[in-house]
A and B are shown apart, each in its own frame.
Chain A
Amino acid sequence: MERITIDPITRLEGHGKIDIFLDAEGNVANSYFQIPELRGFERFCVGRPVEEMPLLTNRICGVCPEAHHMAAAKAADAVYHVDPPRTAKLLRELLYMAFYCTDHTTHFYALGAPDFIVGPAAPVAERNILGVIHKVGLEIGGKVIQMRKYGHKVVEMIGGRKVHPATAIPGGVTKILSEEERKEIEAMGRWAVDFALFSLQAFNDIVLANKTYLDLILGDVYYHRTYYMGLVDENNKVNFYDGKVRVVDPDGKEFCKYAPHEYMNHIAEHVEPWTYLKFPYLKNVGWKGFVDGKDSGVYMATPLSRLNAADGMATPLAQEQYEKMYATLGGKPVHHRLAIHWARLIELLYAAEHWVELATDPEITSPNVHTKPTEIPTEGVGIVEAPRGTLTHHYWTDEKGLLTKVNLIVGTTNNYAPIQMSTNKAARALIKGGKVNEGLLNMVEMAFRAYDPCFGCATHSLPGQMPLEITIYHPNGEVKEVLKR
């Protein structure tokens, strides 16, 4: 039988390509991180009823359908000028916390942990989740699988459907939670809190206790001083579902705080000739190129950004861990990109704690889950925090609620400029005098992996030969070397 050397199963997700250009001395002149673009989503949506959007947008991507479902539902609420009942908001948020636990768990154990637990220099065949299990024990694998099962189960119980939830509609949700279901969800949430604590302990014992890893986190290769963005509640605590978008400057001072409908006053998009994707930046700072600092409008939107942009966590155990992280890494804000992994685990704990809080709220089983929209639909913006960054949906409709215009800024897109900067910096550090360091591929991968980029919605994937391809060019444009996996 023919030997096929592609992986068609990867097609739902992204494929990165990095071109590195060398100067006459053999050092890096520049590098470009490119990802293919998905086209025509706005055109696809125009003319459809806005209430279809929570179902339609969660088809954009197989990785975070729940985030699109929530952002779309909130935008549709805004289009109809309707405020859902408290119980509906609680149910949406509860589903969202379970999703966060699944997503953050997957990223940490399958993608982040191999670099730290197995080691960045370990043979490639061992540097994966199986290597993690081999090193730490089967128990971890079992817990990861269990966490994912519980997450899926809550999404199914509240969302009415596995993977692509179908519950949220303008004005609320369609499904009431029974007391029996509530009890089961509460029990699973308590398990999730223990799991998150276990994960943080493992991070502490394996990563923080190892000086080599701590030095890697604190090293210069993965360091950028930028602005940070995240959704916060009325007390400026991290919130994934609702609130205002807060941005802090590289010194950690609040730069702006805006309601979802004001986002266009604060965010603009820069275009580069070498990619179809746009680079969002802070309009009121301005685009100064792919550079660090207070004068550059580049911002980051990741777990670490959310922690940097907030004054703390809204749950007690997560708050303790938050304080510990900043005490260990030298105060706020933290600019070390690899600390995103640590922040992700603190968010996992917050999501699990909040899951229990929501599941034990006396109103969670109330049958009052929908406010009927009565206003004429116009325009609306919905913002949630997707695990990988602030997610903005903006819809315009005619008076019948049929879409006339759609604008989305997806989680990963926010980070396109910082990812470009991080991969560029890693390439510059590892290529000197034309000598390509063998560890380049993984060091560059580590640079962007920390951001948890998902190009499934920023773009479509191609089942390309490789998840990542690095091409190094001589100054005359000839290909010097192609590194791929």
Chain B
Amino acid sequence: MKILIVGLGNPILGDDGIGWHVAEAVSRRIGVPLGDAPLPGLSPPKPQRVTIERYSLAGLSLMERLSGFDYVILIDALNTGWYPQAKIVHFTLADMDDLTYGHSASAHDVSLKSALQLGRRMGEPLPPDDHIHIVAIEAQHVYDFQEGLSPRIAEALPEAVQTVIQLLEQITARQQPPRFQTETS
């Protein structure tokens, strides 16, 4: 079973970098070094069971990097205004509405959900939506260029790390056999 943990966000955009910080802390806690996940067919796959990455990617580019993994944990900042600052929310991609399904998630890409559907149609070995966990931290200071986190978000870091590690333990304990989801037309 191969598990990928990804810290998402922009590390030079204040609290937007929380995903990177959590991924780095998880890496230290479980003793797995940060490293680039191999792109399919490009580099030899790494032997370890858990891979930890940090990306500033979305949509198709992110989908391409989830290929070959059974489970994924994405860690990202959330900017909804619905939750108190630093609130940690956990859900899976299957729980999310794909509001952007119809067209683009943005002006320049498709949503991760649409990208995953495309990848599966093309035969990429991608994990199913309910194997893609998202640990998100509500943050407001995501529009100003700066390194480091604001104090409230920095305080939430240990809890976010703990959430990811518990999730990792749950996934590992389940010992589910690999289940690649492919869609047929």
Contacts and interface: CB of A to CB of B under 8 A. Distances in A.
Interface of A: 1-16, 36-41, 43-44, 56, 59, 62-63, 65, 106-107, 110-111, 114, 124-125, 127-130, 133-134, 138, 141-142, 145, 148-149, 152-153, 156, 161-164, 388, 442, 445, 448-449, 452-456, 459-467, 485
Most buried by B among A2, A36, A148, A456: A456
A125 B102 contact: yes
A387 to B, nearest CB: 9
B114 A145 contact: no
18 contacts: A3-B95, A5-B99, A7-B111, A8-B78, A9-B74, A9-B105, A10-B59, A12-B58, A14-B107, A39-B145, A59-B10, A106-B108, A128-B110, A452-B107, A463-B80, A466-B99, A467-B104, A467-B105
Contact of A153 (B36, B42, B92, B119): B42
A155 B113 CA distance: 26
A161 B15 CA distance: 25
Nearest to B94: A1
A79 B105 CA distance: 38
Contacts of A455: 106-107
Most buried by A among B89, B109, B118: B109
Interface of B: 8-13, 16, 36, 39-42, 55-62, 64, 74, 76-80, 89, 91-92, 95-114, 117-119, 121-122, 124, 134, 136, 142-146, 185
Given A9-B58, A11-B79, A106-B60, A40 B99 contact: no
A40 B121 contact: no
B58 A13 contact: yes
Contacts of A142: 122
**SS of B interface (majority):** loop
Nearest to B58: A12
Contacts of A162: 36, 39
Contacts of A43: 145
A455 B64 CA distance: 22
Contact of B76 (A5, A8, A460): A8
Contacts of A133: 118, 121
Contacts of A10: 58-59, 100, 105-106, 109, 111
A134 B118 CA distance: 11
Contacts of B16: 11, 460
Contacts of B79: 11, 462-464
Contacts of B13: 38, 460
A63 B109 CA distance: 9
